[in-house]
A and B are shown apart, each in its own frame.
Chain A
Amino acid sequence: MAGNPITKRTVILLAFVLPALVFYAFFVLAPAFGGIWYSMTDWNGVNPAYSFIGLANYREALIEDENFLKSIGFTLKYVIAMVILQNVFAIMLAVLIESRRKTKSLFRTIFFMPNMISLIIGGMMWLFIFTKVLPDLAGRTGLLFLDQSWIGDPRLSFIAIIILSLWGGVGYLMVIYIAALQNIPDHVKEAAAIDGASGWQTLRYITMPMILPAITIGVFLTLNSSFKVFEAVFALTKGGPGRATQVIALNIFDEAFSQSNRYGYASAKAMILFLIVMAITFIQLAIMKKREVEA
């Protein structure tokens, strides 16, 4: 045997891991650590010279930058609406679809389809619906509430963004909930039916508790993706009117690439978004671990 077996094992380990690690280091690790560093500088992306300014960017973002604070507020509003609506709709669809026999896979195909289409494309189609089709429908059917400035009025554009996001996102969670429903053992459902449980009782006392782990996953997936929402807003309103529908990710994007080019400052905002997402994930892990211990 040539060489120390432990060293040889290490060399082989590195040989297998290195290709992935190199790409990962350049395009994920370096930007992540670089971002932490730049968030404490006044780097502007154009001028190669910059200086270290400590936490001044964070202070500015969290205390003085009204637009950024408003974007956090708007994102929170969006997150709350999405966590509730997306999961409620997805569970409802999953339960209803699972109760069908012949049409089950047809409905699943239909409801998941929007998830396959980019929100950039879907968003432009909905823009057509909101600006052309609904006003036209209102005139024809007398449903006058449809004829609104869906994109121009901040209150309504919030609803429009929610509708687009639900359209694109419900199918994804539905697939997860359907998988969870299929994991409920048949004998549990049969026992409930023999005991004379009504449909509602079965749902409340059998189905919901059995899919609770999936609900945890669904809620956190929605939390995670909603805090990072970008495309739905970009496609529909670009953050407008004014900055009324600007979300955190769009605020960062604008700060870095279309308005000020203050890369250092935008990096600080990006770190704040990272901290929010990380906090959510740790809460999720803690909850899941606790439940595993109890189970």
Chain B
Amino acid sequence: MIRERNWRSGLILLVLLAGSVITLFPIYMGVLNSFKTDGELLNDVLAAPASFQFSNYAAAIDKINFWRSLGNTAVIAAVGLLGIILFSSMAGYKLSRTPGRLSRFLFSLFILSMLIPFHSTMITLTKITRELHVQGSILGLGLIYIGLGVSFAIFLYHGFVKSIPRDLDEAAVMDGCGDFRLFFVVIFPLLLPITATNAILNLLWMWNDFLLPLLMLTDSDSYTLLLSTNMLFGQYGNNDWSGILASLVMAMLPVIIFYLLLQKYILNGIADGAVKG
């Protein structure tokens, strides 16, 4: 019995290890070959580099305009995140607390759009954003993300507010606290768990979003990390793989660091968001 259990446990471990190898293989290959010269790479992709070519990375930082692209991505995500958290928490709270037809209608209006694929609105969106002059700038892109992000965030806030006792609101009102002060001083701090979930989900979404920046940003100085990465085959020759791989490693580094530091919160947020959404 015990022997059988050991045998089975060993088999499971073996399967998981094999799966891990396959999962990490492209990343490992990418990192390994990013340190080689092109000649070495073409000669043998599996071998360790004879000497580490850090110059590939110096070139990569230049080719994908790394610091600039990183800064652009951060500004876009920060503007979007700030707006999404602030406006959605306000709306989600009030919609959850106010009974009546108008409140129900507004909530359904927000929720309904969670059905609409981005591809179905993107064509008209390019026209509207051009007319509103928010196209082409990173600030404008951040504002667009607020519009696209609020409905899901409102949905999560709306559900969470139900778990906060109404007595709190009433007590504060009795003390002569106005609606906005009540919200920002009493309620908003209590929303922290769902704010964290919302922040993580939205940050990951904006950071890894590709299509919207592709449609909105035309000037390479305002490119996000992904847009700069997408241009790599034009920047390098099609076969300059060691240079391309070094750029890819640089482009994914921020998100990997973020993941390894905050993975507990990220995994909880993902499970939370998916089940409720």
Interface residues of A (CB under 8 A from B): 9-10, 12-13, 15-17, 19-21, 23-32, 34-35, 38, 45, 93, 96-97, 99-100, 103, 107-122, 124-126, 128-129, 132-133, 136-137, 140, 167, 172, 175-176, 178-179, 199, 214, 217, 221, 227-228, 230-231, 234, 248-249, 252-253, 256-257, 263, 266-267, 270-271, 273-274, 277-278, 281
Provide the bound-state CA to CA distance between A35 and B126, in Å. 11
Residue of B nearest to A37 (CB): B124
In the complex, besides A228-B119, A277-B115, A277-B116, 15 extra interface pairs with C-beta distance below 8 angstroms are A17-B90, A17-B95, A32-B121, A34-B124, A35-B120, A38-B123, A116-B259, A125-B245, A128-B29, A128-B33, A133-B29, A175-B271, A176-B271, A249-B117, A256-B122
For residue B109, give the distance in angstroms from its CB to the closest CB of chain A: 8
Q: Is the CB of B274 within 8 A of A172?
A: yes
User: CB of B8 within 8 A of chain A?
Assistant: yes
User: CB of B172 within 8 A of chain A?
Assistant: no
Instruction: Enumerate chain B residues within 8 angstroms of A17, measured Cβ to Cβ.
Output: 90-91, 94-95, 106
C-beta contact mask, B189-232 vs A, less than 8 Å → 1, else 0? 00000000000000010001011000100000000001001101
Q: Given A96-B16, A228-B117, A110–B124 Cβ distance below 8 Å?
A: no
Instruction: Enumerate chain A residues within 8 angstroms of B270, measured Cβ to Cβ.
Output: 115, 172, 175-176
Q: Given A9-B98, A122-B26, A107–B124 Cβ distance below 8 Å?
A: no
Instruction: Enumerate chain B residues within 8 angstroms of A103, measured Cβ to Cβ.
Output: 13, 16
Q: Is the CB of B90 within 8 A of A116?
A: no
Instruction: Enumerate chain B residues within 8 angstroms of A29, measured Cβ to Cβ.
Output: 109, 113
* One of B13, B33, B125 near A100 (C-beta < 8 A): B13
For residue B3, give the distance in angstroms from its CB to the closest CB of chain A: 15
For residue A206, give the distance in angstroms from its CB to the closest CB of chain B: 17
Residue of B nearest to A134 (CB): B45
Q: Is the CB of B147 within 8 A of A27?
A: yes
Instruction: Enumerate chain A residues within 8 angstroms of B204, measured Cβ to Cβ.
Output: 116
* One of A13, A15, A35 near B121 (C-beta < 8 A): A35
For residue B119, give the distance in angstroms from its CB to the closest CB of chain A: 5
* One of B100, B121, B151 near A31 (C-beta < 8 A): B121
* One of B30, B103, B116, B119 near A125 (C-beta < 8 A): B30
Instruction: Enumerate chain B residues within 8 angstroms of A274, measured Cβ to Cβ.
Output: 115-117, 120
Q: Is the CB of B128 within 8 A of A128?
A: no
Instruction: Enumerate chain A residues within 8 angstroms of B124, measured Cβ to Cβ.
Output: 30-32, 34-35, 38, 267
User: CB of B58 within 8 A of chain A?
Assistant: no
Q: Is the CB of B13 within 8 A of A133?
A: no
Provide the bound-state CA to CA distance between A281 and B115, in Å. 7
Q: Is the CB of B150 within 8 A of A24?
A: yes
Q: Is the CB of B229 within 8 A of A121?
A: yes
Q: Is the CB of A108 within 8 A of B267?
A: yes
For residue A160, give the distance in angstroms from its CB to the closest CB of chain B: 12
Interface residues of B (CB under 8 A from A): 8-9, 12-13, 15-16, 19-20, 23-27, 29-30, 33, 41, 44-46, 83, 86-88, 90-91, 93-95, 98, 100, 102-103, 106, 109-110, 113, 115-125, 127-129, 132, 143-144, 146-148, 150-151, 154, 179, 183, 204, 208, 210-211, 215, 226, 229-230, 232, 241, 244-245, 248, 251-252, 255-256, 258-260, 263, 266-267, 270-271, 274-275
Residue of A nearest to B227 (CB): A120
* One of A107, A231, A270 near B20 (C-beta < 8 A): A107
Instruction: Enumerate chain B residues within 8 angstroms of A107, measured Cβ to Cβ.
Output: 16, 20
Q: Is the CB of A140 within 8 A of B147?
A: no
For residue B91, give the distance in angstroms from its CB to the closest CB of chain A: 4
Q: Is the CB of B94 within 8 A of A12?
A: yes
For residue B239, give the distance in angstroms from its CB to the closest CB of chain A: 9
Residue of B nearest to A12 (CB): B179
Q: Given A96-B15, A113-B23, A257-B215, A20–B91 Cβ distance below 8 Å?
A: yes
Most buried by B among A35, A118, A172: A118
Most buried by B among A31, A133, A199: A31
Provide the bound-state CA to CA distance between A234 and B30, in Å. 20
Residue of A nearest to B9 (CB): A99
* 25 A-B pairs (CB sep. < 8 Å): A13-B102, A16-B95, A17-B94, A19-B87, A24-B147, A24-B151, A25-B147, A28-B113, A28-B151, A31-B123, A31-B125, A31-B128, A32-B120, A32-B124, A34-B128, A107-B16, A108-B267, A111-B23, A113-B27, A113-B259, A121-B251, A128-B241, A133-B29, A136-B44, A281-B115
Q: Given A24-B110, A31-B121, A175–B267 Cβ distance below 8 Å?
A: yes
* One of B91, B120, B274 near A273 (C-beta < 8 A): B120
Q: Is the CB of A21 within 8 A of B91?
A: yes
Residue of B nearest to A231 (CB): B210
Instruction: Enumerate chain B residues within 8 angstroms of A16, measured Cβ to Cβ.
Output: 90-91, 93-95, 179, 183
* One of B41, B117, B232, B255 near A117 (C-beta < 8 A): B255
For residue A93, give the distance in angstroms from its CB to the closest CB of chain B: 7
